[in-house]
Structure 1
Amino acid sequence: MKKFLLLVLFLVISGLAYSQQEKDHKTLNQVEVAPPEFIGVHNAAIFLNEKTPHSSLLMDYMKTKVEYPAIDIDRTNEGKEIIRFVVNPDGTLSNFKVINSVSSSIDAEVINALKTTDGMWKPGYNNEEFVPMEKEFSMVFKIIGTNDLLSRATVQFKRGNKLLLIKEKPKRALQHFDQGLVYVPESKPLLFLRGLTRYELGDKDGAYLDWKRIKSLGGIEADGWLDKYSEMEGYAEMMKTVNE
C-alpha cells in the first residue's frame, strides 16, 4: 500500500513539474508586452513587481498640479486636452506631442505638469526588455454652468455637415469640425467628416491622420450613418485606411 501511495505521489509530482515546464516553455515563446505604468514616486523604474497601480493615480496627481488658466476661463475655452509622450526605459519622459488642443496655454499647463512626473514611471517592456513606449494623457477642461461638451460637439457636427454637403463650403465646415473635436476628440463621425473635408481641400496628410485616429479608436461601426457620404471624394481612401 505504501509503495502504491509513493508511486501515485511520484506521478503527481512528475506531472506538475512537466506542466510547469510546458507553461514556462509557452511563456518563453510568446511575445509579452506591458505598457508603462505611473507609480507616483521618484525612481519608479526600479520597481519591477507585478503590482498594477490604480488607474486614477495619474489623474489624481495631475489634479494637484494643473490649474485652469485664467485667460481660458475668461474666454470660455473648454474641451478635452490630449497629450502624447514617450516613457523611456529609465522612467523619464520625452517627445511630448499635442494630440488635441483646447488652447496653447492649456497645452503648456498640462505638458509642464506631466514633466513633473519625470522618473515616476515604471517603463513598459517587450519580452522582459524595457523599451521606450508611447502613452497618452487626457484631461477635460470645463467651466461650471456651461453646456455639456457632447451637446456642443453635436451642434458643431450639424453645422459643419450642412456647410459641407448642402452649401458646399468646406473651409467653413472645417472650422466647425475642428471646434467639435476640441470638445469630443474621440468622436468618430467628427473625425470622419473632418478627414473628408481635409481631403477635399487638398490636405491629404491631415485626412490620413484623422482616419488613422479612427482606426486606433476601433474603426467605424456599420450603423448606417456613412451611406450619404459614400459618393464623396476621398471616401474610398478613408475606408481603406480605416480597414487596412
Structure 2
Amino acid sequence: MKKFLLLILCLAISGLTFSQNEKGRKTLEEVEVSPPEFIGVQNATLYFNSDKTIGASLLSEYVKNRVEYPAADIEAFREGKEIVRFTVQPDGSLTNFKVVNSVSASIDGEVINALKSTDGMWKPGYNNENIVPMDKEFSMVFKLMETNDLMTKATVQFKRGNKLLLIKERPKRALQHFDQGLVYVPDSKPLLFLRGLTRYQLGDDEGACRDWNRIKSLGGIEADGWVENYCEMPGYAEMMEIINE
C-alpha cells in the first residue's frame, strides 16, 4: 500500500493539468527531429524551395474560426477537451484522423472537418533532414461560460471514482466517473492511472495499457519505473499484490 500511495502522490504533484503541446525542433540521441508545422496557405510545401517567405499561422485560431459549438451540445451542457490525432504526409496533406478524446460525436465532426480544410497547408516533418510522415495532435477546449471550470469538474469525478474503486469496490461505476473526468481533462495522470487500474480489474487489459502508455508518453517521474511494467502482468491479482506491498 505504501508503494501505491507514493505513486498517487507523484501523480498528484504532476497535477490535474492539461495543455496543448506545441514542441519545436529537438534533438533525440543525435537524431534531429522537426515536427510538422501549420503554415496556413495552400500548397505550402512549394514555398520552402523558393525565394518567397511566409510566416506560420496559428492552427488554434484557424480552427476556432471554423468550428461552431453544436446547439445540441450546448443544451446538454456537454463540455470538455477534444483531442484529434492525424498524420501530416510529406506533401502536406493530412490522413489517418483519429479522435483521442471525444466530447461528443457532433464536436468530433466539427473539429475533424475544420482540420481537413487545412489539407496542403502544412510544412511536413523532418527526420535527419528527410521528409517523413509524422503524427500531430490538436486539442480544443469546449466550455460554457456559466458552468464550473473543467479542472473542478474533473476533480469531482476523480474523487467519486476513487471512492467507488478503492473503498466501495464498485469498478464499473468508478469507470464511468473516470471516463467523464478524462473528457474534461484528458491528460490527467491521476485519472489515467486509476482508469487503467479499473479497466485492468474489469479484464480490459488492452484499455488499461492504453491509459498507462498515455502516462508514459506524457513523461514525468511517475512514467518511469514500475508503472511501465503493468502491461506485462498476467492478471489483476498480481498487480494488487505489488500495490499492497
Q: TM-score range by the shorter chain?
A: 0.7 to 0.9
Question: For residue 33 of structure 2, what is the aligned residue in structure 1?
Answer: 33
Question: What is the 5 A alignment of 1:183-202?
Answer: 183-202=184-203
Question: For residue 136 of structure 1, what is the aligned residue in structure 2?
Answer: 137
C-alpha deviation, 1:234, in angstroms: 6.4
Instruction: Tell me whether 1:46 sits opposite 2:18 in the alignment.
Output: no
Question: For residue 102 of structure 1, what is the aligned residue in structure 2?
Answer: 103
Query: Is the partner of 1:208 in helix, strand or coil?
Result: helix
Write the distance in 2 (CA, Å) between the matches of 1:184 and 1:137. Answer: 14
Question: For residue 79 of structure 2, what is the aligned residue in structure 1?
Answer: 78
Query: Is the partner of 1:65 in helix, strand or coil?
Result: coil
Runs of 4+ aligned residues of structure 1 deviating over 4 Å after TM superposition are: 51-54, 232-239
Structure 2 counterpart of 1:163, one-letter code: L
RMSD: 2.7
- Paired residues of 1:76 and 1:143 also in contact (CA < 8 A): yes
Write the distance in 2 (CA, Å) between the matches of 1:86 and 1:238. Answer: 39
TM-score by length of 1: 0.77
Write the distance in 2 (CA, Å) between the matches of 1:204 and 1:234. Answer: 13
Render the CA deviation track for 1:176-222: whole Å, top value 9, x for unaligned.
00000000001000000000000000000000000000001114549
TM-score by length of 2: 0.76
Aligned in 2, Cα 1:233/1:81: closer, same or farther, shift over 3 Å?
Answer: farther
Question: What is the 5 A alignment of 1:1-244?
Answer: 30-48=30-48, 57-221=58-222, 233=237, 235=239
Aligned in 2, Cα 1:59/1:237: closer, same or farther, shift over 3 Å?
Answer: farther
Query: Between Structure 1 and Structure 2, how many residues are aligned?
Result: 202
Write the distance in 2 (CA, Å) between the matches of 1:237 and 1:81. Answer: 36
Query: Is the partner of 2:85 in helix, strand or coil?
Result: strand
Structure 2 counterpart of 1:105, one-letter code: S
Query: Is the partner of 2:98 in helix, strand or coil?
Result: strand
Write the distance in 2 (CA, Å) between the matches of 1:91 and 1:237. Answer: 50
Write the distance in 2 (CA, Å) between the matches of 1:237 and 1:217. Answer: 26
Q: Indicate the percent of aligned positions where both proteins have the same amino acid.
A: 72
Render the CA deviation track for 1:3-35: whole Å, top value 9, x for unaligned.
xxxxxxxxxxxxxxxxxxxxxxxx9x9532210
Q: Which has the higher contact order (CA 8 A, sep 6+)?
A: 2
